[in-house]
């Protein structure tokens, strides 16, 4: 006995396509009215007048080749949002949310190499899961695919081969954070010691190019004084070198793509002068950015609301957005954007919708509400393992949770509170790698058995994210 997903039914060039759920929890693609020249792209079997194909990676690729709206595309300067999915099961709920908003374009396939490593997924698996999820819910308005936080040539090649078209190049590890606060003599020594020959320039040339310049912004002139330019070179110069190496590798692959340059995962905010120097040096080297992800003021921690002065952040948004309009235009990207509901309106206002919202782990942590509702004991085990592996899990994430405040003996009827409470939510948010290694099949089984409930939960959660970005 199988069950059809009604929303998946779609007709294209005389054939009808639909998805069905089988008794063993697997899914199958059913095609009717199609000639053999079309079904030859798929691996499956004839069943009467229908062609039935299992929902495999191979057949996801075939589906993308046949239904053009499922092939990843570039969104350019249009408002967009990425919905990272560590389980490969959240896309149907994401689609339901996007259907209810106007003017926000989806990037359903989005994952960093770091997250792929912890979840043991490949770029192709990420793209294939998003393809099946979008098809299941009948999404025909186009999709993006973001190879997030790319730091190596190898991962860029793997994502390009899989079919990603949006590449977030992240050389943030090379940023010299101490240069943000070093004394002037130290900063000058650092800056002028840098080898920028791969940028076809030198620190002297960069300083001469920008020191004393004035950028006329809507709110008034931004003066690039020499000390600020030198500090920007010392702080961001190494990242520019590494970033351009990654970009040149990507360009050499000869694929359709658009670029985001990300320096957000750092300890210090990106100054306005840094923004100017970084983007203009990339442009000086012929790089055309579609978006830029600075490190904003305040704290953008995983899975929780923004921590900091919202007025100062709104001003920070406005200043960087003015620069992006003058130097570009290009989008500004809000990373670690999950659950920052209080700041979305000011971000949209500042950028005038020339913006990208990037979420990653919120679909994972929200999935644990389904676990809490249907297997409270399993959620307590998930929390225990997340706590036991926390010191390892927390690396590369900004967190301020206090594990001593977490209650580990929550009764069944209150265990769901652990998903909401600040400290336990962050601990489980970053514990996904160890948890999926230990309990992945149990968790996925629960979500499949309660897929309608999970999709409804995702829809509600993402409507809160997307509605402020919707066109009015």
Query: Annotated active-site positions, please?
Result: 148, 260
Tokens of 28: 């199958």
Q: Using CA atoms, how far apart are residues 92 and 452, in angstroms rounded to an integer?
A: 9
C-beta pairs of 460-464 under 8 Å, 24+ apart in sequence: 460/97, 461/93, 461/97, 461/362, 461/363, 461/366, 462/83, 462/93, 462/94, 462/97, 462/98, 463/97, 463/100, 463/101, 464/341
Phi/psi for 334 (5° steps) reads -100, 100
| Alpha carbon distance 447, 374 (integer Å) | 10
Structure tokens belonging to residue 299: 């704290």
Q: 363: how many CB neighbours lie within 10 A of its CB?
A: 24
Strands 214-217 and 166-169: unpaired
List all residues 6 or more positions away from 241 whose beta carbon is below 8 Å from its beta carbon.
Answer: 171, 174, 194, 195, 196, 198, 199
Give the length of the chain. 472
Query: Is residue 33 packed enough to be buried (19+ CB in 10 Å), middle (13-18) or exposed (0-12)?
Result: middle
| Angle between helix 376-388 and 422-429 (nearest 10) | 80
Inter-residue contact 258 to 165 (CB < 8 Å) = yes
CA separation, residue 348 to residues 104, 323, 334 (Å)? 12, 15, 10
Residue by residue, DSSP assigns 104-121 as: -EEE-EEEEHHHHHHHT-
Rounded to whole angstroms, how far apart are CA atoms 375 and 344? 34
Cα distance between residue 46 and residue 110, in whole Å: 34
Angle between helices 203-210 and 184-193 (to 10 degrees): 120
The residue to which tokens 């160890």 are assigned: 434
Q: Which two tokens mark 377?
A: 């004991």
Burial class (CB in 10 A: 0-12, 13-18, 19+), 164: buried
**Token duo for residue 452:** 């309608």
DSSP state at residue 413: G
């Amino acid at each position: 006995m199988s069950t059809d997903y009604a929303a998946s039914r779609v007709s294209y060039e005389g054939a009808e396509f639909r998805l069905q759920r089988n008794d063993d929890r697997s899914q199958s693609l059913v095609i009717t009215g199609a000639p053999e020249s079309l079904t030859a792209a798929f691996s499956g079997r004839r069943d009467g007048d229908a062609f039935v194909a299992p929902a495999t990676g191979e057949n996801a690729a075939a589906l993308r080749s046949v239904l053009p709206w499922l092939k990843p595309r570039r969104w350019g300067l249009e408002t967009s949002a990425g919905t990272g999915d560590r389980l490969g099961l959240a896309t149907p709920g994401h689609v339901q949310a996007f259907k209810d908003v106007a003017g926000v374009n989806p990037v359903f396939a989005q994952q960093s190499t770091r997250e792929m490593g912890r979840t043991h997924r490949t770029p192709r698996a990420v793209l294939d899961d998003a393809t099946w999820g979008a098809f299941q819910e009948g999404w025909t308005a186009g999709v993006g695919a973001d190879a997030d936080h790319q730091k190596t040539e190898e991962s860029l090649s793997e994502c390009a081969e899989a079919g990603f078209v949006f590449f977030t190049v992240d050389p943030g590890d090379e940023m010299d954070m101490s240069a943000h606060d070093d004394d002037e003599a130290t900063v000058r020594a650092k800056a002028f010691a840098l080898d920028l020959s791969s940028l076809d320039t030198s620190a002297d040339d960069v300083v001469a190019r920008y020191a004393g310049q004035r950028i006329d912004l809507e709110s008034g002139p931004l003066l690039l004084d020499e000390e600020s330019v030198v500090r920007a070179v010392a702080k961001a110069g190494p990242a520019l070198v590494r970033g351009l190496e990654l970009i040149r590798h990507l360009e050499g692959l000869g694929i359709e793509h658009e670029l985001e340059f990300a320096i957000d995962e750092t300890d210090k905010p990106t100054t306005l002068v840094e923004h100017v120097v970084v983007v203009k040096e990339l442009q000086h080297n012929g790089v055309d950015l579609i978006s830029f992800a600075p490190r904003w003021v305040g704290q953008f921690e995983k899975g929780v609301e923004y921590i900091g002065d919202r007025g100062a952040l709104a001003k920070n948004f406005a200043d960087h957005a003015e620069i992006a309009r003058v130097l570009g235009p290009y989008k500004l990207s809000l990373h670690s954007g999950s659950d920052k509901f209080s700041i979305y309106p000011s971000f949209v206002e500042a950028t005038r919708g020339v913006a990208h919202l990037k979420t990653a782990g919120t679909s994972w942590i929200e999935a644990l509400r389904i676990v809490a509702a249907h297997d409270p004991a399993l959620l307590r085990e998930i929390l225990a393992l997340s706590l036991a592996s926390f010191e390892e899990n927390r690396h590369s994430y900004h967190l301020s949770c206090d594990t001593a405040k977490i209650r580990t003996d929550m009764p069944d009827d209150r265990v769901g509170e652990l998903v909401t409470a600040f400290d336990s939510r962050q601990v489980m948010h970053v514990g996904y790698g160890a948890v999926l290694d230990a309990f992945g099949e149990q968790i996925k089984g629960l979500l499949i058995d309660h897929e309608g409930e999970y999709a409804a939960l995702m829809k509600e959660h993402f409507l809160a994210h997307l509605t402020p970005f919707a066109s009015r």
